[in-house]
Structure 1
Amino acid sequence: MAEPAGTNIRKHFLFPGATHVDADECEITTVLGSCVAVCLWDQVHGGGGMNHFMLPLWNGEGLATPKYGNIAMERLLEHVLAIGARKQHLVAKVFGGANLLATSSAACPIGARNIELAMTQLEEWRITVAASDLGGHVGRKVIMNTMTGVVLLGRGRPQK
């Protein structure tokens, strides 16, 4: 008997500070608080990926890892283009950047700075943001299908 459609899709859990890209169908899942995840998808040919970054900018010290937004964004675009996606066919979906500490008095919390970095970079690259769910005071679970570009979003409950 044939398996039901969608049961043999590869799955990948994306940890903070990582990037995952796939030319074939894969479900990438991540969980976000103040971190931001950017999903890039080639709307003509399929294939795409997601990053998950914790801090906006690498300061030049230590390793240039994708835990920093400026590094994560560059790596995501580079890897998506390496699987054959065309920049002019890319669309983005952006999630996260919550301020989970509702009582925080920080002038510019990390989540807001992460959002600003992601959105500014996408604008500079002229990549359309097709969907977003940003800021607020709740965490999110994001699941992206790299072939269809569909993203499922779950939101946490506000802290009391």
Structure 2
Amino acid sequence: MPKRSAITEIYLQPGGYHFGGPYTRVRTLLGSCVSIVLWHPRARLGGMCHFILPTRGRPSAQRDGRYGDEVMSLLCDAISQSGTALGDYQARIFGGSHMFAELAHTRRQHVGQHNVDTARRLLAERNIGCYGEHVGGTRHRNLIFDIWSGQIALKQSLPSTAPGLRAGQQSQ
């Protein structure tokens, strides 16, 4: 691991993405949003995005990281500019929680699941191997990606308390 002072830390807000080289740590916090993490093990290059919705649904002259299809295009451009081949990257998918559990009984697919389905489709369309995923559920995820090693740290929030209970109370 590089010296702590040599590490650049990037925090991705929703709609953000980063692609770069060693000595970079990328962090984000996910709910129904999804992150695709790409890593090139030999070149020690990688990227991560944090998209909110699968697609904008209408054409636009400027690509926007808030949409899965558009941010994937931005990441692919960055990979192309790095001189590495897209097919040499390993991908992982995170997020897509159902943040409104009280609506879980409806048959309608929630936005988190749409985001996960989009991430899987985008990787498959580009023939990028998905080496793992941690998706779904009803809790937030704190994600940290160390580009120099390809290591990913994941921490999920504690489950929320049952309706009508205060923190520290237990149901009977």
1:32 is displaced (CA, Å) by 0.2
SS of equivalent to 1:73: helix
5 Å-filtered alignment, 1:55-74, equals: 55-60=53-58, 64-74=63-73
Cα 1:139–1:84, aligned 2, differ >3 Å: closer, same or farther? same
Q: Corresponding residue for 2:113?
A: 112
Stretches of structure 2 that go unaligned for 5 or more consecutive residues are 163-172
1:113-160 deviation digits (Å, cap 9, x = unpaired): 000000011011111111210001111010001122111101111223
Aligned residues: CA RMSD: 1.7
Cα 1:123–1:51, aligned 2, differ >3 Å: closer, same or farther? same
Cα 1:61–1:86, aligned 2, differ >3 Å: closer, same or farther? closer
Letter of the 1:151 counterpart: I
Tell which deviates more after alignment, 5-14 or 113-122.
5-14
1:74 is displaced (CA, Å) by 1.2
Cα 1:81–1:25, aligned 2, differ >3 Å: closer, same or farther? farther
1:25 is displaced (CA, Å) by 2.2
5 Å-filtered alignment, 1:20-31, equals: 20-31=18-29
Stretches of structure 1 that go unaligned for 5 or more consecutive residues are none
In the alignment, is the contact (CA less than 8 A) between 2:16 and 2:51 conserved in 1?
Answer: yes
Moved over 4 A (4+): none
SS of equivalent to 2:79: helix
The TM-score normalised by the length of structure 2 is 0.85
Q: Corresponding residue for 2:167?
A: none
SS of equivalent to 2:50: strand
Cα 1:76–1:44, aligned 2, differ >3 Å: closer, same or farther? same
Q: Corresponding residue for 2:93?
A: 94
- How many residues are paired up? 157
1:14-44 deviation digits (Å, cap 9, x = unpaired): 1100111112320000000000000111122
In the alignment, is the contact (CA less than 8 A) between 1:144 and 1:152 conserved in 2?
Answer: yes
Cα 1:47–1:5, aligned 2, differ >3 Å: closer, same or farther? closer
Question: Take 1:37 and 1:16, find their aligned partners in 2: how far apart are those partners?
Answer: 10
Q: Corresponding residue for 2:11?
A: 13
Identity of aligned residues (%): 27
Question: Take 1:14 and 1:67, find their aligned partners in 2: how far apart are those partners?
Answer: 11
Query: Who wins on radius of gyration, i.e. which is larger?
Result: 2
Question: Take 1:65 and 1:86, find their aligned partners in 2: how far apart are those partners?
Answer: 23
Q: Corresponding residue for 1:76?
A: 75
Q: Corresponding residue for 1:121?
A: 122
Does 2:51 align with 1:50? Answer: no
Question: Take 1:139 and 1:53, find their aligned partners in 2: how far apart are those partners?
Answer: 15
Q: Corresponding residue for 1:137?
A: 138
